[in-house]
Amino acid sequence: MTSSQSQASAINPADAEPYIGLRPFRENEQDRFFGRDSEISILLDKIRANRLTLLLAGSGVGKSSLLRAGIIPVLGNDEGAELIYHRDWAVLPGQALKQRISEHFSRKYHLADLGDRLNPLSIKDVLRACTIFSTGQQILILDQFEEFFNYQRFQPEFQPFIQELSAAVLDRSLAASFVFSMREDFALELNSFKKTLPGIFDNYFRLEKLTRDQARLAIEEPLKATGYCFAPKTENKEALLDQVLDDLAKREQERQFGVQDVMRLKELPLLVEPPHLQIVCRELWQRHRDDKAKQITHAAYEKAGRTAGILNSYFLGKIDLFGKKEQALASAAFDHLVGTRAIKIAHPLERLAELARADEKELQPVLDRLQDYAILRRQMRGDQFWYELYHDIFSGSIDHWNREFKSRQQIKRFAWRSFTVLIFGGFLFAVNNFRENYYDRYLQLSQKKNISDRIEVHQGRLRGWDFFHQRKFLYETPFLHQDIEADSSIKSLLEIK
């Protein structure tokens, strides 16, 4: 937050929360955006002094929040500035960007929709045409720019858009500046611009995770505006805010350097992931929002499992609320919403249902519920709903859950098939046992000791199982024991009846 924003206005707990969760900060949420003063100052200087600025950062570090709650409100106060923020790369990129420019000027200057007249022009000519309405600096902020490469690399518009955008950046007759904001692990994709925009890497700013001091501001200041606070230090416990900061920083250290290095190296940087901070603090706030004492307690933090417990249970806690059929639909959708390199992928509902081999009417309520839990984001593009992950930070936990879910389903299917085979095999065995003991016959000496020495015919088999108790005496033959020779034909005896 800039110095002019150092005093946050009071936040009514009934109307707003101090922590926004996983979505990016918006332009009107400066009163809750703290800890980035130096980054805002540096980036503002770069944007004002250069034609093109690259903003690079890891996933979840807060590029969009920095731009929307830190940069845009300040640049918006510059005299004559025309701020155009764009982040939709799933559809035709050139057309979408020109439409966004048209919408900005139409809305700001109360004009009829300019899209139909401006869309046939190049990006450069659209910007030049808009100087009719304003001669101020045009600042185009292209956020989540990595998604342009993800969606458009193999599409026919890929190269034409690169050429059009490069031409606009290089045309110094235009009073315009550009910001490309993207994940740093996609930075090499910008080599696609090297031929048309040779100096693309000349001016960049890398946004780091929050330091411990910055994280303290990001946690403490928004909460202070609600009249709440974290439990202070006691004789037996350190201040709760310090505990939370230590746990957040330790988690990031262990993820980045490994547990052994964290224990061995004492001077590793203490950095905090903004999404982790938001999840933990929002969970603690929601547990206390009706607390008359207005204090977040040690007991509640321990009960929630501290930072590790809250973070590990967030996604699992939400997905466990779904029934088995809903989980199966969610799993099928996640297969196509989480891409390689942990990137989120957007799909329209119709296409996602087709990929997941699911009925749209059954799939949409599941997707909408995931949106309610801030796991998916739903957007209307054209005349269709599109769905994507709310935040890249979920990709790891979703992928892990999805693999385990599918593994459990495979085990269940195998167990059911095995059970079915076993039951069917048992049925066949029982049928065969019934048949054998119903149709087969065997000979036996009379059981009437000292009364009869005649040969008897019995139903069934002499040896083996008799599940249906079919073995029984049928009749007595006229033959005596001494009349029967060993291994003689039995058929003639059975034909007596």
Buried b (16+ CB within 10 A) or exposed e, 355-383: ebebeeeebbebbebbbeebbbbbeeeee
Tens-place pLDDT, residues 18-34: 999 888 999 999 989 99
Average pLDDT over residues 327-351: 87
Give the DSSP letter of residue 338: B
Q: What is the pLDDT of residue 265?
A: 54
Instruction: Tell me phi and psi for residue 344, to 5 degrees.
Output: -80, 145
Which two structure tokens, joined as six digits, stand for 21? Answer: 């969760």
Task: State how far the Cα of 391 lies from the Cα of 371, in Å rounded to an integer.
Answer: 11
- CA gap 155, 151 in Å, rounded: 8
Name the token pair of 340: 């390689």
Q: Which fold has domain 35-208?
A: Rossmann fold (3.40.50)
Q: Which two tokens stand for residue 51?
A: 């034609």
Where would I find the H helices in 289-394? 298-303, 306-319, 324-337, 349-356, 360-372
Q: How far apart are CA 4 and CA 173, in angstroms?
A: 34
Report pLDDT digits (tens) over 281-311.
999 999 998 888 999 999 999 999 999 888 8
pLDDT confidence tier of residue 6, bands split at 50, 70 and 90: very low
What pLDDT score was predicted for residue 497?
A: 47
Q: What is the pLDDT of residues 448-486, one digit of tens each?
A: 656 667 888 888 887 788 888 888 888 888 887 667 665
* pLDDT score, position 255: 66
99 CB neighbour count, 10 Å cutoff: 20
pLDDT in tens, 170-208: 999 999 999 999 999 889 999 999 999 999 999 999 999
**Predicted local distance difference test score (pLDDT) of residue 8:** 46
Domain assignments of the chain as residue spans, ordered by start = 35-208, 211-315, 321-430, 440-494
Whether 262 shows a pLDDT value over 90: the answer reads: no
Residue-wise pLDDT for 36-62, tens only, equals 999 999 999 999 999 999 999 988 899
Neighbours of 438 (CB within 10 A): 11
Q: Could you give the CA distance from residue 443 to residue 458 in angstroms, rounded to a whole number?
A: 6
User: 444 pLDDT exceeds 90?
Assistant: no
Q: Which residue has the higher pLDDT, 15 or 190?
A: 190
pLDDT at residue 1 is higher than 50: no
- Region 341-345 average pLDDT: 74
Radius of gyration of the chain (CA): 37
Question: Of 337, 334, 309, 171, which Cα lies nearest the Cα of 251?
Answer: 309
Cβ-based neighbours of 216, under 8 Å, separated by 6 or more: 35, 241, 245
- What are the tokens at 488? 């003689």
Tally the C-alpha atoms within 13 A of residue 96's C-alpha that lie toward its C-beta: 16
Digit-coded pLDDT (tens) for 99-151: 999 999 999 988 887 877 888 999 999 999 999 988 889 999 999 999 999 89
How far is Cα 325 from Cα 302, in angstroms, rounded to an integer? 34
Q: Is the pLDDT of residue 344 over 90?
A: no
For the chain, give the percent of residues with pLDDT over 70: 88
Q: How far apart are CA 159 and CA 195, in angstroms?
A: 11
Residues 391-415: tens digit of each pLDDT: 777 787 888 899 998 888 878 777 7
Q: What is the 3-state secondary structure (H, E, C) of 41-104?
A: HHHHHHHHHCCEEEEEECCCCCHHHHHHHHHHHHHCCCCCCEEEEECCCCCCHHHHHHHHHHHH
Of 403 and 14, the one with more pLDDT: 403
The tokens of 218 are what? 């990001």
Residue 105 has a pLDDT of 92
Express each pLDDT in 69-78 by its tens digit.
Answer: 999 999 999 8
| The CATH number fitting domain 321-430, selected from 1.10.10.10, 3.30.1330.60, 3.20.20.70, 3.40.50.150 | 1.10.10.10
CB 193 within 8 A of CB 200: yes
Q: Residue 489: phi, psi to the nearest 5?
A: -65, 135
DSSP 205: E
Residue 263 has pLDDT above 90, yes or no: no
pLDDT confidence band for 165 (50 / 70 / 90): very high
Q: CA dihedral in degrees (57, 61, 63, 65; nearest 10)?
A: -170
pLDDT score at 256: 65
Structure tokens that stand for 2 in this block: 């800039």
Residues 95/58, Cβ–Cβ less than 8 Å: no
Hey, is 424 helix, strand or coil? helix
Looking at every residue in the chain, the average pLDDT score rounds to 86
Q: What are phi and psi of 45, to 5 degrees?
A: -60, -40
Q: Stretch 92-99: mean pLDDT, rounded?
A: 95
3-class SS of residue 40: helix
